[in-house]
């Protein structure tokens, strides 16, 4: 789903993808408070993250569906995987751009 968002929406899609980690963190905190009642919920954080989705979702409608899927996750392990995976994807994308830029510099300097 994230790949489709990037493919269809470019930079706007990247803004949407950056929200995967905070959305996953909201779900992790919800699951943690269910499994460990002493862990408080953080409704202000959840409201902030959900409000942050509104603008990017206008430009990348797939973000709404993706956020719903993330917020339906019932496994803490899966929620952590999604959160960490989004960071990995971002790093891979940045490395790919850096490599592309370096190749262009080498080609133009020859």
55 versus 96: which is more confidently predicted?
55
Q: Is the pTM of this model over 0.75?
A: no
Domain of residue 47, residue span: 2-109
Q: Look at the chain and report how many structural domains it folds into.
A: 1
58-97 pLDDT per residue, tens = 888 888 888 999 999 998 888 888 888 765 555 554 555 5
Q: How far is CA 84 from CA 25, 34, 36, in A?
A: 10, 21, 22
What pLDDT is recorded for position 30? 92
Handedness of CA 56, 8, 102, 94 (dihedral sign): positive
């Amino acid at each position: 789903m994230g790949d489709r968002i990037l493919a269809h929406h470019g930079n706007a899609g990247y803004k949407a993808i950056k929200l995967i980690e905070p959305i996953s963190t909201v779900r992790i905190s919800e699951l943690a408070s269910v499994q460990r009642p002493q862990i408080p919920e953080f409704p202000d954080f959840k409201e902030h993250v959900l409000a942050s989705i509104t603008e990017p979702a206008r430009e990348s409608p797939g973000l709404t569906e993706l956020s719903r899927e993330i917020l339906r996750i019932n496994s803490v392990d899966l929620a952590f995987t999604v959160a960490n995976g989004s960071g990995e994807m971002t790093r891979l994308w940045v490395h790919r751009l850096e490599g592309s830029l370096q190749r262009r510099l080498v080609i133009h300097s020859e």
